[in-house]
């Protein structure tokens, strides 16, 4: 051994520390020891040449698992191994999940310790050779990019392209596992024969299927040496390939099947450029990418579910409001479209304008709390009755403010502020000017324009000219003067929306 590799031993029992030190020193390693986690962390902080950490699990103050977690922050390349008695084998397994590389059982078996250290050092060597700083930085960038993609299609495409590029493969595919776990479909492919597009294969007779069922990567350097996988192979031109599973992270959502359905997709690569053979390093890179891709894929799907659910809630609540107040569904649809149009013209981004469009139909959701006798009173309201009507703004806000998500949060603000006036004489809070959220100022204009144009239990529909007169009159009073200008500038488009979503249909 050219240079003695440094090993740190942490145990609260001096007998164990001395025994381990003797064993490893005899093997030619350079050994240091610490009686507890704090002391160990200090040693790791002061020198960065430790390669392997042996730690006891059950220790007072800081246990071995916590030490591993903290040690990895101080020394990311350190390989941690836990030492444990039979009684805590379960804990040892948990430690391995936390990032421990291996565990050895007390009382110690010499060859077991040697084996464990040898493996650990081998892993270190691999890590050093293959994961150069450049490589790690690049992988990090890819991972960040993966996490930022919001659409499943784009995510799959990016993951496959990045994977092929990183390992210099000419051919590859991403195969999705079907809901029931029996089929695999080619969701994305590069360099595949034409007829593989969207092709489905049964898990029982494909390589990806094997990987999905066994939740294990498959790395074949030369398929001619592996008779067991050969029979699974489908028209591979090349003898070397790697297939890695994209494993589900959230076990809570995986349902009663447990293990089955743990794999969402499988990433396959083959035909390394210049007739080269894939390496362990390629496998490692692909495993890391598959890991990040799986998390991102789950996220994208979860978000889509949340957004579907939100759309559903928004729609249902909107319908309830219409039924209660005998307004037609077209009223809220028109308001939504006016809002989006005005929003875009006021400089909102397309995404913001879309949120406004989805949220604005809920502006009157608080009316569900107003008694019928008042809400649907055919004539003019008394001041007391109107005070009760005014509570619909705060009531709507209270209903929506507890929700999560952009759309319902926006709806909460709109419900609260759609009767505020630019001059500060509105309700419920008498806010003025830009203190009123732009969503509130826009929805106010859209709502009043539409309310005036239709018949209500308490009023007839107004002629357009009369409505426009009121808008000129209220510019800068009830309405934001700038948005009123935008409204007049967009009148043709507003009227086109009014015609296309007319009540008389
Ligand atoms: P809504 O029917 O959706 O009306 C929304 C807003 O459009 C009103 O907010 C008001 O700003 C405007 N608007 C509607 N009709 C007229 C009108 O004839 N003249 C003028 N100048 N503006 C009008 P507002 O006033 O805060 O009323 C909120 C809600 O209270 C109304 O929602 C409606 O549900 C109810 N409401 C208001 N006045 C009466 C009434 O006299 N009788 C009954 N039964 N309900 C009323
Ligand atoms: C939605 O799709 O629910 C709104 C859009 C967004 O939140 O970005
Ligand atoms: C979220 O806010 O994280 C999801 C809901 C949405 O985008 O509207
Ligand atoms: Fe209202
Ligand atoms: Fe309304």
Q: What is the pLDDT of residues 466-486, one digit of tens each?
A: 999 999 999 999 999 999 999
Structural element, H or E, at residue 170: strand 169-177
Residue 387 pLDDT grade (very low, low, confident, very high; cuts 50, 70, 90): very high
CATH architecture of 149-302: 2-Layer Sandwich (3.30)
Structural element, H or E, at residue 169: strand 169-177
Q: Whose CA is nearest to atom 2 of ligand 3?
A: 405
Taking CB atoms and a 6 Å cutoff, what residues make up the pocket around ligand 1?
377, 380-381, 389, 419, 447-448, 451-452, 456-459
pLDDT mean over 383-389: 96
Looking at all shown ligands, the one closest to residue 375's CA atom is 1
pLDDT at 361 over 60: yes
Mean pLDDT (the chain, rounded):
84
Q: Which ligand 2 atom minimizes the distance to the CA of 307? A: 3
Q: Whose CA is nearest to atom 5 of ligand 2?
A: 355
Q: Give the strands of the sheet with 183-190, arranged side by side.
A: 200-202, 183-190, 169-177, 263-272, 241-247, 218-220
Q: What's the confidence (pLDDT) of residue 478?
A: 98
* CATH number for region 6-131: 3.40.50.2300
Site to substitute for ligand 2 among 149, 303, 312, 358, most atoms within 8 A of C-beta: 358
Residue 432 pLDDT grade (very low, low, confident, very high; cuts 50, 70, 90): very high
pLDDT mean over 339-364: 91
pLDDT more than 90, % of the chain: 42
pLDDT at 255 over 50: no
Q: What is the pLDDT of residues 61-97, one digit of tens each?
A: 899 989 999 998 888 888 888 887 655 566 766 777 7
pLDDT at 215 over 70: yes
Looking at all shown ligands, the one closest to residue 331's CA atom is 5
Q: What's the confidence (pLDDT) of residue 34?
A: 96
pLDDT at 259 over 80: no
Q: What's the confidence (pLDDT) of residue 132?
A: 47
Domain boundaries, the chain: 6-131, 149-302, 325-500
Q: Which ligand 2 atom minimizes the distance to the CA of 405? A: 7
Domain 325-500 falls in which CATH fold? Hypothetical protein af1432 (1.10.3210)
Q: Which of 8-12, 323-327, 408-412 has the lowest mean pLDDT?
A: 323-327
- Dihedral pair phi/psi, residue 256, rounded to 5°: -70, -20
Looking at all shown ligands, the one closest to residue 353's CA atom is 2
pLDDT mean over 133-137: 52
Site to substitute for ligand 2 among 306, 403, 406, 439, most atoms within 8 A of C-beta: 406
Residue 202 pLDDT grade (very low, low, confident, very high; cuts 50, 70, 90): confident
**3-class secondary structure, 178:** coil
Q: Whose CA is nearest to atom 3 of ligand 3?
A: 405
pLDDT mean over 164-174: 93
Q: What's the confidence (pLDDT) of residue 382?
A: 96
Site to substitute for ligand 1 among 423, 451, 454, most atoms within 8 A of C-beta: 451
Q: What's the confidence (pLDDT) of residue 430?
A: 97
- Measured from the Cβ of residue 433, the count of other Cβ atoms closer than 10 Å reads 13
Residue with tokens 């804990």: 91
Who's near 145: CB < 8 A, 6+ residues apart? 158, 162
Residue 407 pLDDT grade (very low, low, confident, very high; cuts 50, 70, 90): confident
Does ligand 3 come within 6 angstroms of the Cβ of 406? yes
pTM over 0.85: no
Residue, of 203 and 453, whose pLDDT is higher: 453
pLDDT at 505 over 50: no
pLDDT at 131 over 60: no
d(CA 154, CA 31) in angstroms, rounded, equals 50
Q: Whose CA is nearest to atom 5 of ligand 3?
A: 405
Q: What's the confidence (pLDDT) of residue 49?
A: 85
Q: What's the confidence (pLDDT) of residue 260?
A: 59
């Amino acid at each position: 051994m050219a240079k003695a590799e440094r090993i740190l031993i942490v145990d609260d029992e001096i007998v164990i520390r001395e025994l381990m030190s003797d064993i490893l020193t005899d093997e030619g390693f350079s050994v240091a020891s610490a009686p507890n986690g704090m002391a160990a962390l200090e040693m790791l902080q002061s020198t960065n040449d430790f390669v392997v950490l042996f730690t006891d699990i059950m220790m007072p103050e800081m246990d071995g698992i916590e030490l591993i977690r903290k040690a990895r922050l101080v020394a990311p390349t350190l390989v941690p191994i836990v030492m444990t008695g039979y009684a805590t084998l379960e804990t040892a397994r948990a430690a391995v999940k936390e990032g421990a590389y291996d565990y050895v059982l007390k009382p110690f078996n010499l060859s077991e310790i040697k084996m464990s250290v040898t493996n650990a050092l081998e892993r270190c060597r691999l890590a050093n050779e293959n994961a150069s700083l450049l490589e790690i930085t690049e992988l990090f960038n890819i991972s960040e990019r993966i996490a930022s993609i919001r659409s499943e299609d784009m995510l799959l495409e990016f993951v496959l392209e990045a994977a092929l590029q990183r390992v210099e493969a000419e051919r590859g595919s991403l195969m999705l596992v079907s809901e029931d776990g029996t089929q695999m479909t080619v969701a994305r492919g590069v360099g595949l024969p034409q007829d593989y597009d969207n092709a489905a294969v049964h898990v029982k007779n494909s390589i990806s299927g094997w990987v999905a069922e066994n939740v294990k990567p498959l790395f074949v350097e030369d398929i001619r040496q592996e008779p067991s996988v050969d029979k699974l192979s489908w028209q591979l031109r090349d003898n070397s390939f790697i297939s890695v599973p994209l494993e589900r992270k959230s076990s809570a959502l995986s349902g009663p099947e447990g293990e089955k359905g743990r794999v969402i997709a499988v990433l396959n690569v083959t035909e390394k450029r210049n007739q080269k053979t894939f390496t362990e390093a390629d496998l490692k890179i692909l495993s890391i990418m598959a890991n990040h891709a799986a998390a991102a894929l789950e996220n994208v799907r979860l978000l889509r579910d949340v957004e579907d659910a939100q759309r559903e809630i928004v729609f249902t609540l909107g319908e309830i409001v219409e039924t209660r107040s005998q307004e037609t569904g077209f009223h809220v649809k028109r308001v939504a479209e006016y809002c989006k149009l005005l929003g875009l013209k006021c400089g909102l981004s397309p995404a913001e304008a879309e949120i406004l469009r989805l949220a604005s139909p809920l502006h009157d959701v608080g009316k569900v709390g107003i008694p019928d006798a008042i809400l649907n009173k055919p004539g003019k309201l008394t001041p007391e009755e109107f005070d009760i009507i005014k509570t619909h703004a705060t009531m709507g806000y209270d209903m929506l403010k507890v929700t999560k998500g952009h759309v319902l949060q926006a709806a909460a603000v709109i419900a609260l502020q759609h009767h505020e006036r630019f001059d500060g004489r509105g309700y419920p809070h008498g806010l003025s000017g830009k203190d009123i959220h732009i969503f509130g100022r826009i929805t106010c204009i859209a709502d009043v324009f539409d309310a005036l144009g239709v018949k209500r239990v308490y009023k007839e529909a107004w002629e357009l000219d009369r409505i426009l007169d009121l808008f000129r009159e209220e510019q800068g009073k009830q309405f934001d003067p700038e948005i009123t200008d935008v409204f007049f500038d967009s009148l043709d488009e507003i009227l086109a929306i009014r015609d296309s979503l007319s009540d008389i249909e």
